[in-house]
Structure 1
């Protein structure tokens, strides 16, 4: 498989899968812009951003026909959020603050149809491009496409990382680095030995169970660091920072002319 439809297979292969994240600029052209920049996926935030499912639906629709997979970060572990994100056309969901195996099992169940889960059925709608066809085939395609990312953002989540990674249906363990450092009592101290140990443990736990480890890297230094630790799913930066950094660099150059 290639393009957006093959994202899950690429993640499972262990090769580098690179994308970006959006917190602010939820405009219809964003998926095409990110695709032109070379992103394989775009994380669309609903946890910290004031966005609605109506907005998410438009952005997922804007990904159709492009080689980019939309993944929605929902605010919390809740069936109505996880299933609806997939129904509006997301190719996957990211769930924050995943702390236990039981929580991971609930997330996987919410995202998959029976017999592997309890996602409710609605076919011929956004998630299957409004196409007719066999529900059996559509369920199989959804299972092959849907990516589930569990965010590890607390010492409890780190401690349970192996058990979370072992849950069928969980594809990626994703370190939420700011929240993790906050809950470890070392906010922003990403060079702290305890934080480094947590990064290594999550990466090892994911790989031990054939899963990928991921992170949102604010700069290329972060990317190099986590790549060396075996992390293979990386969102390179967030829209706000990309825009601000680009404008700042341009203005700095302008003022030297």
Structure 2
């Protein structure tokens, strides 16, 4: 069995803007379809800051893929078992928090790729290939090409090594974890600080120089516009719980004002 190249990687390779969202709270069978209906191209299911187990994540991935949206999983830690299980649920990509060095990034890529590009364990006719038997060698080759690897820059160490991390073959995205990064920089939550803004530019420049994409979770349209202007090309527009709460708050406020 062969699979077609997945669209996100192609879009990034072509220099396009790719937009999606995070899901932290609403582990429902419809959340991926709702995101697709809103125009999202990908959904990142968060396993770092939630209590979700593998059965929940597998169900979220399985109910999202048919909607034509690419499901990714942010794993809690950069460990081989976490990466393998995330991909074996059928996730089309992985996000790795707190990547601090090129060596760590190379390990992530090795664990995410089948031989000869890596050491991912092989099992076929299961969730990640939709239980379909076929040409497994071709499947491994195509999956290696299609799987998206997102490394998060969330520490001063990661920022200082971002050029080397971005240059690692198999890393597709360097993604700023903004709050953790400002914590590490000693300027927690100061997103207007010149050092933080310089860090954004450094990440975007490193990604561009390596032929990769810079990513970010934008909290609103104004922030998204600022990031696009700085060269970020893959953005998650907020997360489910904050989008819901903001929309509900705005609606309730308007109702009260009219009442």
Q: Distance in 1 between matches of 2:19 and 2:139?
A: 27
Q: Name the residue aligned to 1:131.
A: 132
Alpha-carbon offset, residue 5 of structure 1: 2.6
Q: Name the residue aligned to 1:238.
A: 239
Runs of at least 5 residues in structure 1 that lack an aligned partner in the other structure: none
Q: Name the residue aligned to 1:20.
A: 21
Q: Name the residue aligned to 2:45.
A: 44
Alpha-carbon offset, residue 65 of structure 1: 2.2
Q: Could you say what secondary structure the match of 2:257 adopts?
A: coil
Alpha-carbon offset, residue 37 of structure 1: 0.3
Q: Name the residue aligned to 2:161.
A: 160
RMSD in angstroms over aligned alpha carbons? 1.1
How many pairs does the alignment contain? Answer: 255
The answer to whether residue 98 in structure 2 is matched with residue 77 in structure 1 is no
Q: Distance in 2 between matches of 1:19 and 1:11?
A: 13
Alpha-carbon offset, residue 64 of structure 1: 2.8
Q: Distance in 2 between matches of 1:11 and 1:84?
A: 25
Runs of at least 5 residues in structure 2 that lack an aligned partner in the other structure: none
Alpha-carbon offset, residue 4 of structure 1: 8.9
Q: Could you say what secondary structure the match of 1:256 adopts?
A: helix
Alpha-carbon offset, residue 144 of structure 1: 2.4
- Runs of 4+ in structure 1 deviating by more than 6 angstroms, as ranges, are none
Q: Distance in 2 between matches of 1:220 and 1:102?
A: 35
Q: Could you say what secondary structure the match of 2:175 adopts?
A: strand
Q: Distance in 2 between matches of 1:212 and 1:77?
A: 20
Q: Could you say what secondary structure the match of 2:98 adopts?
A: coil
Q: TM-score, normalised on structure 2?
A: 0.97
Instruction: Work out whether residues 91 and 146 of structure 1, in 8 Å CA contact, stay in contact via their aligned partners in 2.
Output: yes
Q: Could you say what secondary structure the match of 2:238 adopts?
A: strand
Q: Distance in 1 between matches of 2:163 and 2:10?
A: 21
137-146 or 98-107, which deviates more: 137-146
Instruction: Work out whether residues 113 and 119 of structure 2, in 8 Å CA contact, stay in contact via their aligned partners in 1.
Output: yes
